[in-house]
Chain A
Amino acid sequence: MTTEDRLRSRVLRRELHSPRSGLAIPLALLAIVALAWLGTEGVLAALGRPALLLTPKAMGTGIRGLPGVQPGTLIAAGTVLALIGLVLVVTAIAPGRRGRHIIGAGDSAVVVDDAVIASALVRTAATTAGVSPDRAVAHVGRRSATVRVTPVSGVPVDREAVQRDVQAAAEGFGLTPAVRTRVAIDKNGKVGG
């Protein structure tokens, strides 16, 4: 592997996955606030000044007195904490893929947002179906794409032809991973357009 290949694969891998900064930074800020409060209470207690909210002694008493709290309250609070924790654990481990595809092969590092692919597929479908691009919507996932066309009332749309052209367009983009397309024609058309 040459240096350039390594650079390319590193950048592609990073651009296709979320950095998780959007969660890590607010979480770190919350942790800083909590720790700052804890530290301040400790210093105030050492100086013998009144506490902001709780003295360290009161915190200790609270923790010791946990079994005395109503079981319902304890279970509710515990469940909320555990659920938040579970969401964080899953977020930390899940791949966090962004809605993007690698486009083209070879030595270039090009990624395309799924919205761009959807927009291009809509253009293709609308042209073949003979409707305005506003009358078609596309949804692009990782390995499949769905295009829904709303025909003009009274003008039939050849689903096979649209399907063929859309699939050809998707294949022509050279996406990785490849996208399988599905075309749906709405039963009820709309007037005009």
Chain B
Amino acid sequence: MNTTNRGLNRLFILVVGVLLLAAGALAIAIAAAPALASQWKRTASDLAGSGAPSWVREPVMGQASALVIGLVVLAVVLIVLLLVFIAKQGHGRTAAALEQRNGTTVTRIDLAIPKALLEQHLEGRPELAGLRISAYEVRGTPMLKITARCSRGASPATVSSAISGAIRDLEQIVGTDVPAFVQLTGGFRTGSASRPRVA
């Protein structure tokens, strides 16, 4: 429900993976292929001697060459980008659960109202061990997130239809569609020998 950029997460993991894979493959290749090793040695001695371009050899700032300065700048830029990347994870919660646009006016209903109504409606059901209600903004539209903890052995179909009924009632009360996402959790301790594997 949150606004985490999952494509970016995967892209970042992929890039780091490919870099590590390439570094590992290079190390193995240098050890296993003598031709590559001797080529590496030749290039290295060229660079160590006078073959290196002046921007690698000559200090431009203090005692650092342009190569070192460039790497420092690159490191700083990447650090900032990575901090932004981390900070962007998991946002999207909102205080307004519903939004109704009527021409030029927009009516926003606070989360507290649907929360109270749903909790009251579902109160006292033995299938429900707990209820957590929050709201997220998905693609600009507020959406309720209802997490229901089912008690042991409860039929998910029963719980699901009870919550759907509660949402329908809520829709009647507020007079508009209530986009909602429902997650049924719990049901643990299904046996003493082994718990169901949850991947």
Residues of A within 8 A of B (CB): 3-4, 6-8, 10-12, 14-15, 17, 19-21, 23-25, 27-29, 31-32, 35-36, 38-39, 42-43, 45-48, 56, 61, 64-67, 69, 71-72, 74-75, 77-93, 97-100, 103-104, 108-120, 122-123, 133-140, 150, 169, 172-174
Contacts of B192 in A (CB 8 A): 134
Contacts of B55 in A (CB 8 A): none
Selected from A25, A67, A84, A103, the residue in CB contact (under 8 A) with B184 is: A103
Sampled A-B contacts (10; CB under 8 Å): A15-B1, A20-B6, A31-B82, A35-B75, A88-B17, A89-B14, A108-B164, A108-B182, A110-B163, A111-B183
What is the size, in residues, of chain B's interface with A at 8 Å between Cβ atoms? 93
Inter-subunit contact B177/A91 (CB<8 Å): no
B53 within 8 A of A: no
Q: Is the interface of B mostly helix, strand, loop or mixed?
A: helix
B143 to chain A, nearest CB (A): 7
A-facing mask of B40-79, CB < 8 A → 1, else 0?
A: 1100110110000000000101111001110110011011
Residues of B within 8 A of A (CB): 1-2, 4, 6, 9-14, 16-32, 37-38, 40-41, 44-45, 47-48, 59, 61-64, 67-69, 71-72, 75-76, 78-79, 82-83, 85-86, 89-90, 138-139, 141, 143, 150, 152-157, 160-161, 163-164, 167, 177, 179-199
